Chain A
Amino acid sequence: MSSETPFQINIPDKKLSILRAKLELATFPDELQDIGWKHGVPLSDMKRLADRWRNGYDWRKYEQELNQELPMFTRDINVDGFGALNIHYVHKKSKTVDAIPLLFCHGWPGSFLEIRPVLSLLTASSPEHPSFHVVALSLPGFGFSEGAHKPGFGLDQYAEVTHKLMIALGYNEYVTQGGDWGFLITRRMAAKYGGKHCKAWHTNFPMADPPTWKSPLSFLSYLLTPFSAEEKAGLERTAWYRNKSSGYFVEQSTFPQTLAYGFTDSPVALLGWFYEKLVIWTDDYKWTDDEALTWISIYWFSRAGPGAAHRIYSEVSGDFYDLGRTSYPTIPMGASYFPQELLLLPSAWLRRLNNVVIESHHKSGGHFAAYERPKELVDDVRKMFAKGGPAFAIVPGRSGYA
Chain B
Amino acid sequence: MSSETPFQINVPDEKLTALRAKLQLATFPDELENAQWKFGSPLADIKRLTERWRNGYDWRQHEKAINEELPMFTRDIDVDGFGALNIHYVHKKSETVDAIPLLFCHGWPGSFFEVIRILPLLTASTAEHPSFHVVALSLPGFGFSEAPHKQGFGINQYAKVAHKLMVALGYNEYVTQGGDWGGIITRKMASTYGGRHHKAWHTNFPIPEPPSWKSPLSFLSFLLTPWSIEEKAGIERTKWFRTKGQGYSAQQSTQPQTLGYSLADSPVGLLAWIYEKLVLWTDNYYWSDDEVLTWISLYWFSRAGPAASLRIYFELRGDCEDLGRNPTIPMGASFFPKELIVLPAAWLRKSNNVVFESHHKTGGHFAATERPEELVRDVRKMFAKGSPAFGIVPGRTGYDPHVQQ
* A interface residues, Cβ below 8 angstroms from B: 18, 21-22, 25-35, 38-43, 46, 148-151, 244-266, 268-269, 271-273, 276, 304-308, 311, 314
Contact = CB atoms under 8 A, between A and B. Distances in A.
Contact of A264 (B27, B32, B270): B27
A40 B35 contact: no
Contact of A35 (B257, B266, B273, B276): B257
Interface residues of B, number: 62
Interface in B247-300: 247-248, 250-266, 268-273, 276
Nearest to B272: A261
B284 to A, nearest CB: 20
A108 to B, nearest CB: 15
A249 B251 CA distance: 9
Given A25-B25, A29-B307, A151-B33, A261 B261 contact: no
Given A21-B25, A30-B308, A261 B247 contact: no
A137 to B, nearest CB: 21
B34 interface: yes
Contacts of A261: 28-29, 41, 46, 266, 268-269, 271-273
Contact of A258 (B26, B40, B147, B304): B40
B31 interface: yes
Given A247-B250, A258-B272, A262-B273, A30 B305 contact: yes
B151 interface: yes
A109 B308 CA distance: 26
A345 B39 CA distance: 31
Nearest to A306: B29
Contacts of B32: 148-151, 257, 311
A30 B263 CA distance: 12
A30 B255 CA distance: 14
Nearest to A254: B247
19 contacts: A25-B18, A30-B304, A33-B149, A34-B151, A250-B246, A251-B248, A257-B29, A257-B39, A257-B272, A258-B276, A261-B29, A261-B41, A261-B46, A261-B271, A262-B268, A262-B272, A263-B29, A263-B262, A265-B26
B305 to A, nearest CB: 5
Contacts of B255: 39-40, 245, 247-248, 276
A257 B31 contact: yes
Given A39-B314, A261-B29, A254 B244 contact: yes
A255 B266 contact: no
Given A39-B314, A257-B41, A265 B268 contact: yes
Nearest to A304: B30
A30 B244 CA distance: 30
Contacts of A269: 261-262, 265-266, 269
Nearest to B258: A40
A346 B305 CA distance: 44
Given A30-B307, A39-B311, A246-B254, A262 B262 contact: yes
A305 to B, nearest CB: 5
A151 B147 CA distance: 41
A251 B250 contact: yes
B293 to A, nearest CB: 15
Interface string B228-253: 00000000000000001111101111
A250 B251 contact: yes
A262 B263 contact: yes
Contact of A257 (B43, B253, B304): B43
Nearest to B274: A258
B22 interface: yes
Given A33-B151, A34-B151, A261-B271, 7 more contacts: A25-B21, A251-B247, A255-B248, A261-B28, A265-B266, A273-B261, A311-B39
A250 B254 CA distance: 12
B150 interface: yes
Given A28-B265, A148-B32, A265-B268, A258 B273 contact: yes
Contacts of A307: 29-30
B25 A18 contact: yes
Contacts of B265: 26-28, 266, 268-269
A266 B40 contact: no
Closest 6 CB pairs of A and B: A262-B269, A307-B29, A40-B258, A258-B40, A29-B307, A247-B251
B39 A272 contact: no
B402 interface: no
B398 interface: no
Contacts of B33: 149-151
Interface in B168-213: none
A214 B370 CA distance: 50
| Most chain B beta-carbon contacts within 10 A, residue among A25, A30, A259 | A259
B30 A305 contact: yes
B262 A247 contact: no
B308 A260 contact: no
B261 A268 contact: yes
A38 B262 contact: no
A251 B305 CA distance: 22
B361 interface: no
B372 interface: no
A272 B40 contact: no
Contacts of A46: 261
B330 interface: no
Given A28-B261, A255-B39, A308 B254 contact: no
A305 B28 CA distance: 9
B250 to A, nearest CB: 4
Nearest to B26: A265
Nearest to A248: B251
Nearest to A153: B32
B145 to A, nearest CB: 14
A279 to B, nearest CB: 11
| Most chain B beta-carbon contacts within 10 A, residue among A30, A34, A247 | A247
Contact of B262 (A255, A256, A273, A308): A273
B78 to A, nearest CB: 18
Contacts of B214: none
B15 to A, nearest CB: 10
A18 B38 contact: no
